[in-house]
Amino acid sequence: MSPTKTNEATYIVETIKVADLEVDKRVQRDELQMKKVDTIVANFNADALGVAHVSRRRTANGEHLGDFVIDGWHRKEAVHRVSEGTGALVCHVYEGLTLAEEAQMFLDLNYGNQPTQLEKHKARLHTEDETAVRVEDSVHKYGWDIRPIPGNGNVNAIMKLYQIDALSQKMGADPDLLTLTFLTITRAWEHDRYGAQSVILEGISRLHAEHGSKIDIDHLIDRLKNYKGGPQRLHAEARQFANNTGMKVSMAVAWLITEAYNKGKKEGAKSELPTWRKRS
């Protein structure tokens, strides 16, 4: 079949057995949405499956490395179940795509069925998006990973990372706010997952944004390290304080950290931080 050109990429139409289709999670969702697969299976209609989009990868010498699904993973899984692995999908097969181009195509094709923010971030990384790479580097620098699974060493609050980065870029902060924030939480609480909660990250980053070099980082880290109950207790107390004052929880975090930072300092001392008054 002659190739067809769309969005500057050329494809051919082929029917490919689902058993021969592969998935690369670097350019795909982290996991299948099993309810979506179940729905396709329960209402299975081969004529309504539409067309999957596939990248045919080859070595520099032209050796076939595999056909990788860019869009159609849920349909591939549904057909596999219904046919016990013998079924096939009609596919638009693209050749010569880079990993970055595959990732961008995944985003473009899922514009109306949006991936999660974490999945978008992963795809943006493979398009070598400047912001995504900068955010990833800042987090990895201190041994953290951006992952959807809650756990020590994992950061789930991807949108907050992007917001902090945007503020940092707007201010021209040097060091950047993400670097300062992850330096602070890692030295205070190591890789305790509660230290990487969205409201903790925002509260600490806003403190750094507000006071800059006036903050004695070693002293701040020491006060956080000795905060009774650690980041989990800090979050709980901030939530209660926010309920009582109408303050945003992340701003309550900044207020509580400011109070802890100033504890024991002589009132009016040069190293004292002003009481935190921002509410949002």
CA-CA distance, 201 to 195, in Å (whole number)? 7
CA-CA distance, 19 to 167, in Å (whole number)? 47
pLDDT at position 38: 93
Question: Would you say residue 273 lies in a domain?
Answer: no
Total number of domains in the chain: 2
Same domain, 64 and 138: no
pLDDT (tens digit per residue) in 246-275: 999 999 999 999 999 999 776 666 779 999
**Containing H/E element for 16?**
strand 9-17
Same domain, 136 and 106: no
Question: Would you say residue 252 lies in a domain?
Answer: yes
CATH code for the domain in which residue 39 is found:
3.90.1530.10
Question: Would you say residue 217 lies in a domain?
Answer: yes
CA-CA distance, 263 to 241, in Å (whole number)? 18
Same domain, 142 and 230: yes
Same domain, 98 and 162: no
Question: Would you say residue 267 lies in a domain?
Answer: no
Same domain, 137 and 104: no
Same domain, 11 and 102: yes
Same domain, 229 and 137: yes
Same domain, 187 and 239: yes
Place of tokens 């961008």: 104
Same domain, 63 and 170: no
User: What is the DSSP-derived secondary structure letter of residue 160?
Assistant: H
pLDDT at position 7: 47
Does residue 6 carry a pLDDT above 80?
no
The parent domain of residue 220 ranges over 129-262
State whether residue 45 is helix, strand or coil: coil
Q: C-alpha dihedral over 104, 110, 112, 116, to 10 degrees? A: -100
What is the reported pTM? 0.66
Same domain, 109 and 82: yes
Same domain, 172 and 243: yes
From 88, 114, 140, the end of a domain falls on: 114
CA-CA distance, 183 to 139, in Å (whole number)? 9
CA-CA distance, 262 to 266, in Å (whole number)? 8
Question: Would you say residue 124 lies in a domain?
Answer: no
CA-CA distance, 36 to 75, in Å (whole number)? 9
pLDDT (tens digit per residue) in 79-91: 999 999 999 999 9
Same domain, 137 and 98: no
Question: Cβ contacts of residue 225 below 8 Å, gap of 6+?
Answer: 187, 188, 189
